[in-house]
């Protein structure tokens, strides 16, 4: 089928584009290269360098007529969202509405919208957080992601545009950037490769814990969502929490290093402990993650090594 991937030059989007092409799908990419990279672009996909808010997006849709739109483009820097919530809302809400309006005008069958399981629940009151957990985002980014979900619901009810929402945990893997939500994996890999001392940020009463999910598994969930998970919000994670120290120990094993970390105080206002229940995705997508942390870190480290060489 023909799939238009917004954000297809980014970390996760570009991994998805490669896999869609390998499966024989036709792929169109819309990306403004704000954080995405030209080198991530698969030459077999048709590329439009464009902002998702651009009125000219209408021409791309009219020319390409995709069957499915996979929406990965976003302002996803949580700190920037706090400093400039207007910019965050422009990209994540107005940009999305522009995409959805074009979907309706061009009879797109389905949109796959990428949300964040690490952001929409706030500090979870029960773990693992399932999709029925109260929604209490504590950042503008979490608010705009959840708003995006509600727009998808509206377009389905009123315009019969089908959707699946995928709420990711902390995605890591090849092409990841140290600045993203799961940036700590890239930061540790870089720090240890240079032989420098890593820093573990923690709260007085304990460490942060996150659900680290490998990008290859996330891509498989997107493939399943082409035909399944209609009208559903689905967590995409591993169901397991990993503390920063556990993560660092795993990265050290991968790198063959044993450097004593220094400890620093975690910034207030960040979520302390979160991991996601993935039962609903297992049931509705027939999906489950296949890559454990050791394997995923090994593949990620391999990619960083090759790029450095
Ligand atoms: N990385 C994670 O752990 C994680 C977790 C939860 C959700 N997500 C979501 O997954 C998606 C992809 O994230 P990523 O980690 O690959 O980040 P990324 O920054 O690598 O990818 C985002 C892509 O969108 C593009 N983009 C940004 N604003 C745009 C705009 N206005 N118009 C067109 N293109 C634009 C960027 O150039 C980039 O290629 C985002 O929606 C993000 O919110 C990521």
pLDDT mean over 136-162: 97
* Cα distance between residue 201 and residue 26, in whole Å: 43
Q: Which residues, 6+ apart, have CB-to-CB distance to 213 below 8 Å?
A: 168, 169, 170, 171, 172, 236, 237, 238, 289
Is ligand 1 within 6 A of the CB of residue 69? no
Q: Is 141 a catalytic residue?
A: yes
Question: Across residues 132-149, what is the average pLDDT?
Answer: 97
For 216, other C-beta atoms within 10 Å of its C-beta total 17
Kindly state the average pLDDT of the residues 231-237: 98
70: tokens are 């996979």
What confidence score (pLDDT) does residue 266 get?
Answer: 86
- pLDDT, residue 59, reads 98
Please work out whether the CB of residue 7 comes within 6 Å of at least one atom of ligand 1.
yes
266 near 209, Cβ under 8 Å? Answer: no
CATH code: domain 173-210+240-276+291-308 is 3.90.25.10
- How far apart CA 215 and CA 220 sit, in angstroms, is 9
The helix (H) or strand (E) run that includes residue 171 is strand 170-172
CA-nearest of 76, 80, 87 to 35 is: 76
Give the least confident one: 97-101, 161-165, 175-179: 175-179
Model pLDDT for residues 5-27, shown as the tens digit of each residue: 999 999 999 999 999 999 999 99
Q: Is 95 in the pocket of ligand 1 (CB under 6 A)?
A: yes
- Which residue puts its alpha carbon closest to atom 43 of ligand 1? 76
CB 277 within 8 A of CB 128: yes
> Could you read off the pLDDT of 238-258 as tens digits, one per residue?
999 999 999 999 999 999 999
pLDDT average, residue stretch 39-62: 98
Convert the pLDDT of each residue in 91-130 to its tens digit: 999 999 999 999 999 999 999 999 999 999 999 999 999 9
**CATH level 3 topology of 2-171+214-237+278-285:** Rossmann fold (3.40.50)
Q: CATH 3.90.25.10 spans which residues of the chain?
A: 173-210+240-276+291-308
Give the list of residues 6+ apart from residue 279 with CB closer than 8 angstroms, or none: 130
Burial of residue 196 (CB within 10 Å: 0-12, 13-18, 19+) is: exposed
Instruction: Work out the average pLDDT over 19-36.
Output: 98
- Tell me the C-alpha distance between 100 and 125, whole Å: 33
> Can you tell me the distance from the alpha carbon of 70 to that of 8, in angstroms, rounded to the nearest whole number?
9
Q: What is the mean pLDDT of the chain?
A: 96
User: In the chain, which segments carry CATH 3.40.50.720?
Assistant: 2-171+214-237+278-285
Report the pLDDT value the prediction gives residue 308, as an integer from 0 to 100.
84
Q: To the nearest whole percent, how much of the chain has pLDDT over 70? A: 99
């Amino acid at each position: 089928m023909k799939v238009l991937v917004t954000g297809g030059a980014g970390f996760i989007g570009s991994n998805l584009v490669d896999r869609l092409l390998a499966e024989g799908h036709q792929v169109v990419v819309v990306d403004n290269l704000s954080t995405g990279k030209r080198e991530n672009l698969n030459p077999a996909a048709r590329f439009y360098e464009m902002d998702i808010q651009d009125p000219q997006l209408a021409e791309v849709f009219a020319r390409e007529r995709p069957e499915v739109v996979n929406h990965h483009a976003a302002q996803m820097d949580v700190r920037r969202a706090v400093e400039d919530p207007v910019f965050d809302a422009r990209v994540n809400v107005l940009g999305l509405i522009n995409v959805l309006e074009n979907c309706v005008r061009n009879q797109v069958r389905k949109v796959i919208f990428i949300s964040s399981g690490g952001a929409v629940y706030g500090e979870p009151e029960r773990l693992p957080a399932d999709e029925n957990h109260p929604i209490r985002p504590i950042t503008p980014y979490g608010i705009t992601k959840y708003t995006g979900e509600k727009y998808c619901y509206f377009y389905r009810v009123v315009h019969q545009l089908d959707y699946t929402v995928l709420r990711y945990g902390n995605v890591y893997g090849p092409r990841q950037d140290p600045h993203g939500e799961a940036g700590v994996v890239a930061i540790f890999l870089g720090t240890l490769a240079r032989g420098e001392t890593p820093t573990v940020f923690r709260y007085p009463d304990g460490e942060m814990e996150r659900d680290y999910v490998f990008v290859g598994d996330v891509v498989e969930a997107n493939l399943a969502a082409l035909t399944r998970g209609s009208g559903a919000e689905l967590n995409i994670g591993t169901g397991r929490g990993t503390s920063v120290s556990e993560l660092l120990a795993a990265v050290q094993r991968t790198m063959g290093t044993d450097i004593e970390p220094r400890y620093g105080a975690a910034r207030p206002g960040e979520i302390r402990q979160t991991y996601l229940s993935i039962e609903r995705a297992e049931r509705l997508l027939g999906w489950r993650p296949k890559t454990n942390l050791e394997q995923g870190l090994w593949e990620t480290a391999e990619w960083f090594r090759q790029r450095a060489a």
